[in-house]
Amino acid sequence: MRLNTCVCVHALNLHHVLPFVQKMLDHPFLKKSSSVFTLAMLIMFITIFLYWSDVPQPLLVDAAQAEDDVHAGKDFAPPLLDSVAPPEDDAYEVKHLAPSSEESVPPPKNTPRPTNVTVFVEKFDGLNEFYGNSFTKMESDIPHTCQLPHGGACILQHSEASAQTADVVFRMVRLIHPEDTVRYHEGQLLAVMNSEAERGEYGLQQLREADIKIDCHPSSEILVSDVCMLPVHKSETSPPSDPTQRKGIAMFTSNCGAEWRLDNFNRLAKVVPIDSYGRCLHNKGDHIAAASLSDRIANLVKISSKYRMVVTFENVIQDDYISEKLTVAFSSGAIPVYWGPPQVYSWVPGNHSFIDASKYKDSPEDLGKYLKRVDEEDDLFKYHTSNFDINKTKEMIERLCSIGVPYMCRTCQIAQQKLIQRIEKVLQ
């Protein structure tokens, strides 16, 4: 006997199941059957119902149509899932068809966003000593001058109590010690700065693992390099240096610990006269000292403006590390006689705009002979001080340097973005 009914295999709510059970009990075939057989049929139906209750999409099978197809010799295939619309009144279907928690869902429009960003400045006194009290001024000025992307203020703190609640802990590589706490609470962002050449300090490990890296490498979140201060504006608005107003070679090196550099200076000085104002090979004027770094640089630029060339070798040669030495020479209008990383060519306004001392590493004496020619020949001096590709340097500065935005402000801006992204990820 044909069972003329529609067998619905679906994750139904209980109020959908009961009417169907009642229809089965009222079917003439079941009424004629024994109670044992009827009970068996019910158990079978409930078992099927429980087994398929976790199926995510409904599968409707017309048993009568399936039996006709089989007798006719046709292949039977259930209808495509997309062709079966879920019941309009079934709220479960709507919920079940919604994306799972693992899928990407845009955050609600009212997603809470952090406003103020608090930064615990670790070893505040040590930073002030190294940077000439600049952090005291920064702590006072930044909350009023730093604009964050989503509003709020960048608040610097240095009390020990503030370390436990601050959004960010800020520290300097050379002031990090093995016994120091890395993060004071779970979720705190770590910002590490290194503005000097790397010397194998313990803190370099933390720099590599920091959430916000602040150093001389363009790949870091924040680039801190004196090369960003190359005098592009001056080169655009001022004429090339006049060779008739300049003469000689100057040097301002006071760190005499780099033996390779001192050896080159000694060999160079035997070929061409060099006025040395620093401690190394000192033979001219008083040692230059100033109350602040900016005053010292201003004095160096003023003195250099009388010379045709300034000998400026980095303390150590490391990728991307370019100190203020190069900027001082360019700012004064003198030709930098520079020895530094190969990346300097990406920044300078033309390969001819400086004299690359590293090309004479096997013979400082040959470098000395060339410097003597530049000091004596006006045309050779003009070759090195004109036809600058200013746009090249400007493009590098605009693309990689945060001009006008202090690195501490950039730290807060990046931290705010990271905190917002963290909140949105949790709410997805």
pLDDT tens digits along 123-173: 999 999 998 889 999 999 999 999 998 889 999 999 999 999 999 999 999
Q: What is the CA radius of gyration of the chain?
A: 38
User: Cα–Cα distance between 288 and 351 in angstroms, integer?
Assistant: 30
> What is residue 171's predicted lDDT score, i.e. its pLDDT?
97
Contact status, residue 29 vs residue 38, Cβ threshold 8 Å: no
Residue 156 main-chain phi, psi, to 5 deg = -95, 135
Mean pLDDT to the nearest integer, 38-66: 52
Is pLDDT above 70 for 58?
no
CA atoms within a 13 Å half-sphere pointing along the CA-CB vector of 139? 17
Is pLDDT above 70 for 247?
yes
Mean pLDDT to the nearest integer, 20-44: 58
Give the model's confidence band at 201: pLDDT under 50 very low, under 70 low, under 90 confident, else very high: confident
User: Cα–Cα distance between 117 and 165 in angstroms, integer?
Assistant: 11
> What is residue 133's predicted lDDT score, i.e. its pLDDT?
86
Mean pLDDT to the nearest integer, 53-68: 45
CATH 3.40.50 fits 117-225+404-427, yes or no: yes
> What is residue 108's predicted lDDT score, i.e. its pLDDT?
53
Give the model's confidence band at 286: pLDDT under 50 very low, under 70 low, under 90 confident, else very high: confident
Taking Cα atoms as reference points, which of 355, 299, 368, 284 lies closest to residue 326? 355
Mean pLDDT to the nearest integer, 232-239: 88
For the CA atoms of 235, 403, 211, 179, the dihedral, rounded to the nearest 10 degrees, stands at: 80
Q: Regarding predicted confidence, which is higher, 52 or 268?
A: 268
User: To the nearest whole percent, how much of the chain has pLDDT over 70?
Assistant: 72
For the chain, what are the domain ranges?
7-97, 117-225+404-427, 227-400
Is pLDDT above 50 for 192?
yes
Is pLDDT above 70 for 253?
yes
Q: Architecture of domain 227-400 in CATH?
A: 3-Layer(aba) Sandwich (3.40)
| Lowest model confidence (mean pLDDT) among 155-169, 232-246, 318-332, 354-368 | 232-246
Q: Regarding predicted confidence, which is higher, 311 or 424?
A: 311
Helices 259-269 and 364-376, interaxial angle, to 10°? 50
| Lowest model confidence (mean pLDDT) among 61-75, 251-265, 409-423 | 61-75
Q: Which two tokens stand for residue 367?
A: 């470098």
In this predicted model, what pLDDT tens digit does every residue of 292-308 receive, in sequence order? 778 889 999 999 999 99
In this predicted model, what pLDDT tens digit does every residue of 209-231 receive, in sequence order? 999 999 999 999 999 999 999 99
Mean pLDDT to the nearest integer, 180-188: 95
> What is residue 61's predicted lDDT score, i.e. its pLDDT?
42
Mean pLDDT to the nearest integer, 67-81: 46
Give the model's confidence band at 236: pLDDT under 50 very low, under 70 low, under 90 confident, else very high: confident
Mean pLDDT to the nearest integer, 77-82: 41
**Is the dihedral angle over the CA atoms 395, 396, 399, 405 positive or is it negative?**
negative
Burial of 267 (0-12, 13-18, 19+ CB in 10 A): middle
Contacting residues for 187 by C-beta, under 8 A, at least 6 apart: 422
User: If you average pLDDT over every residue of the chain, what do you get?
Assistant: 82
> What is residue 205's predicted lDDT score, i.e. its pLDDT?
93
In this predicted model, what pLDDT tens digit does every residue of 392-419 receive, in sequence order? 999 999 999 988 899 999 999 999 999 9
Burial of 341 (0-12, 13-18, 19+ CB in 10 A): middle
User: Cα–Cα distance between 87 and 247 in angstroms, integer?
Assistant: 93
Is pLDDT above 90 for 288?
no
Please determine whether the domains at 117-225+404-427 and 227-400 fall in the same fold group of CATH.
Answer: yes
Residue count (the chain): 428
Is pLDDT above 60 for 97?
no
- End-to-end, the C-alpha distance of the chain in Å comes to 54
> What is residue 24's predicted lDDT score, i.e. its pLDDT?
58
